[in-house]
């Protein structure tokens, strides 16, 4: 068999010998949960055997590692003591007997908690970064109390940070002489209608501007007037046309 054939046969055997699936997050974070390199290699060998042998012996592990059996036993004991690894009993239906198996539930729980903490920190950093970018990119006066109050009110109501363009919309409305209470009233009505985009709020403000409404009191008065007109239309009795029938002899007797 020539060298090319040997290499090709080995490559095929290598890839068909199976693979061990190890989460990347585990490989990149095992140090953060207190697992050393020796313990990690023991865990990898346990994962390697999990399909065919859920409870590999220390002898089996020692045959694959450079560590001594006593060192492997010490690593296993440390992992079990810290509840990253557990030994569970299970029923083997093929051999009809009870056996042991290693459980990695504790390890997964520890990684999940670490991931949740890191994710929370990441979201907080993104929020702070976004806030700083919005503040630095806005050509606005940071000491404008009306704008500051509007930004805070909108963010609380919408449950998110405003974008730079949305903040510019608020500033433009204030520059167009829309009062703070009028803008908040438009937001309230938009939320009540289930529509929270700024285009819809702008249409509300422009409609009030056409009608010359500048305060919330004027808007409420306009609403009351419109409501009363609608009620009059619905409550106005319908007059039936009375059909008059005249006798063909009426004019004769008159």
At 196, which CATH number?
A: 1.10.10.630
pLDDT confidence band for 235 (50 / 70 / 90): low
CB atoms within 10 A of CB 182: 22
Query: Residue 115 domain-assigned?
Result: yes
Domain that holds residue 30: 18-137
Query: Residue 251 domain-assigned?
Result: no
Residue 188 Cα to chain centre, angstroms: 25
In order of 106, 136, 161, 165, 172, the CA distances from 141 in angstroms are: 53, 11, 18, 15, 13
pLDDT tens by residue, 131-141: 776 666 555 44
- Report pLDDT for 16: 65
- Report pLDDT for 20: 80
The segment with the largest mean pLDDT, out of 64-73, 198-207, 221-230, 245-254, is: 64-73
> In total, how many domains does the chain have?
2
More confident residue, 202 or 246: 202
Q: Are residues 48 and 85 in the same domain?
A: yes
Q: Are residues 116 and 38 in the same domain?
A: yes
Q: Are residues 151 and 68 in the same domain?
A: no
126 phi and psi, to 5 degrees? -65, -40
Q: Are residues 127 and 212 in the same domain?
A: no
pLDDT confidence band for 238 (50 / 70 / 90): low
pLDDT tens by residue, 18-58: 778 889 999 999 999 999 999 999 999 999 888 888 899 99
Query: Residue 9 domain-assigned?
Result: no
Per-residue pLDDT at 154 exceeds 80? yes
Two tokens, residue 223: 């609403």
CA angle 135, 137, 142 (to 5 degrees): 40
Query: Residue 2 domain-assigned?
Result: no
Q: Are residues 176 and 133 in the same domain?
A: no
Q: Are residues 54 and 129 in the same domain?
A: yes
Two tokens, residue 206: 């422009």
Query: Residue 246 domain-assigned?
Result: no
| 65: DSSP letter | S
Query: Residue 56 domain-assigned?
Result: yes
Q: Are residues 39 and 126 in the same domain?
A: yes
- Report pLDDT for 244: 47
Number of H helices, E strands in the chain: 12, 2
Q: Are residues 116 and 103 in the same domain?
A: yes
More confident residue, 247 or 15: 15
Q: Are residues 130 and 208 in the same domain?
A: no
pLDDT confidence band for 15 (50 / 70 / 90): low
- Report pLDDT for 66: 93
Mean pLDDT of the chain: 82
Q: Are residues 49 and 150 in the same domain?
A: no
In this structure, what CATH number is given to the domain that contains residue 114? 1.10.10.10
DSSP string, 151-194: HHHHHHHHTSPPPHHHHHHHHHHHHTT--HHHHHHHHHHHHHTT
- Report pLDDT for 253: 35
Q: Are residues 25 and 131 in the same domain?
A: yes
Report the candidate in 29, 42, 238, 182 with the shortest Cα–Cα distance to residue 117: 29
Q: Are residues 113 and 168 in the same domain?
A: no
């Amino acid at each position: 068999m020539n060298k090319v054939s040997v290499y090709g046969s080995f490559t095929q055997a290598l890839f068909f010998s199976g693979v061990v699936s190890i989460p990347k997050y585990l490989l990149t974070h095992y140090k953060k949960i207190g697992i050393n390199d020796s313990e990690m290699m023991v865990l990898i060998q346990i994962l390697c055997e999990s399909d065919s042998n859920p409870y590999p012996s220390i002898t089996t592990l020692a045959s694959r590692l450079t560590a001594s059996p006593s060192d492997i036993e010490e690593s296993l004991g440390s992992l079990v003591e810290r509840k990253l690894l557990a030994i569970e009993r299970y029923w083997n239906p093929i051999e009809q007997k009870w056996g042991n198996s290693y459980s990695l539930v504790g390890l997964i729980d520890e990684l999940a908690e670490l991931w949740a903490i890191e994710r929370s920190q990441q979201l907080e950093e993104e929020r702070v970064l976004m806030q700083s970018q919005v503040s630095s990119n806005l050509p606005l006066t940071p000491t404008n109390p009306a704008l500051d109050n509007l930004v805070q009110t909108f963010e609380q109501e919408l449950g998110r940070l405003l974008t730079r363009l949305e903040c510019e919309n608020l500033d433009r409305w204030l520059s167009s002489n829309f009062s703070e209470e009028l803008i908040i009233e438009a937001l309230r009505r938009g939320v009540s209608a289930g529509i929270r985009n700024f285009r819809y709020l702008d249409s509300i403000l422009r409609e009030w501007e056409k009608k010359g409404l500048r305060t919330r009191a004027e808007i409420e008065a306009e609403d009351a007037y419109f409501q009363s007109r609608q009620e009059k239309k619905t409550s106005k009795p319908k007059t039936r046309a009375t059909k008059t029938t005249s006798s063909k002899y009426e004019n004769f007797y008159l």
